[in-house]
């Protein structure tokens, strides 16, 4: 593939940053879009529906407006739809069905710009209680379910990369090489 627009998705602490850093080191021609939360640190201290909605907007906007065919993004808009659904599933409140539907429309529109969606399962990666393992697991389930919906992922090729960091990087390299 001459130039690929890649989104690396997964629940928190699933290895996204490591994979992107390793890939970017070998591919300086790729623009790297970091975690959307980093752009919102001053606005939100805690995870929650308002934070997820803001990150969704940042993620979608960056994908729609990023120039060039070679980019790799940490998190895509589907991550945040999954967090909203997981939050609601866990009974934590604050999310109406219209808000989720709107989020899904924003995500689907932005996903039209993505060629390759990488899903990183969190299997084998343990997190401390302050990382909210319950939300983490629920988000992963929601994300993988969303990625089965062609209306949400558009024409993006969806590939799950499991294994250790070296194996994940090797597989990503193979995918990008075509």
pTM: 0.94
Q: What residues contact 25, with CB distance under 8 A and at least 6 apart?
A: none
Confidence class of residue 77 from pLDDT cuts 50, 70 and 90? very high
Residue 163 Cα distances to 18, 38, 124, 158, angstroms: 13, 27, 9, 17
Counting Cβ atoms within 10 Å, is residue 130 exposed (0-12), middle (13-18) or buried (19+)?
A: exposed
Between CA 144 and CA 173 the distance in angstroms is 22
What is the C-alpha R_g of the chain?
15
What mean pLDDT comes out for the span 70-95? 94
Return the SS3 of 91. coil
Higher-pLDDT residue of 47, 166: 166
Domain hosting residue 80, numbered range:
5-177
The candidate with the shortest Cα–Cα distance to 156, out of 109, 121, 112, is 112
Residue pLDDT, tens place only, 127-164: 778 889 999 999 999 999 999 999 999 999 999 999 99
Count of the separate structural domains present in the chain: 1
Confidence class of residue 2 from pLDDT cuts 50, 70 and 90? low
What mean pLDDT comes out for the span 30-53? 88
Between CA 41 and CA 54 the distance in angstroms is 11
Average confidence score pLDDT of the chain: 93
Where residue 119 sits, what CATH number does that domain have?
Answer: 3.40.50.300
What mean pLDDT comes out for the span 37-58? 88
């Amino acid at each position: 593939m001459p130039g690929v627009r890649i989104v690396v998705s997964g629940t928190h602490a699933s290895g996204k940053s490591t994979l992107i850093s390793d890939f970017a080191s070998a591919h300086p021609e790729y623009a790297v879009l970091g975690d959307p939360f980093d752009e919102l640190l001053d606005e939100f201290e805690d995870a929650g529906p308002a934070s997820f909605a803001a990150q969704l907007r940042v993620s979608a906007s960056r994908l729609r407006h990023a120039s060039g065919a070679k980019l790799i993004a940490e998190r895509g808009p589907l991550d945040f739809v999954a967090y909203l659904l997981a939050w609601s599933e866990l009974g934590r409140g604050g999310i109406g069905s219209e808000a989720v539907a709107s989020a899904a429309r924003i995500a689907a529109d932005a996903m039209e710009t993505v060629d390759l969606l990488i899903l990183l399962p969190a299997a084998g990666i343990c997190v401390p209680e302050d990382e909210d393992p319950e939300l983490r697991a629920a988000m992963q389930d929601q994300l993988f379910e969303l990625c089965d919906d062609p209306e949400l992922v558009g024409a993006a090729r969806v590939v799950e990369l499991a294994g250790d960091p070296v194996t994940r990087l090797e597989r990503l390299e193979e995918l990008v090489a075509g």
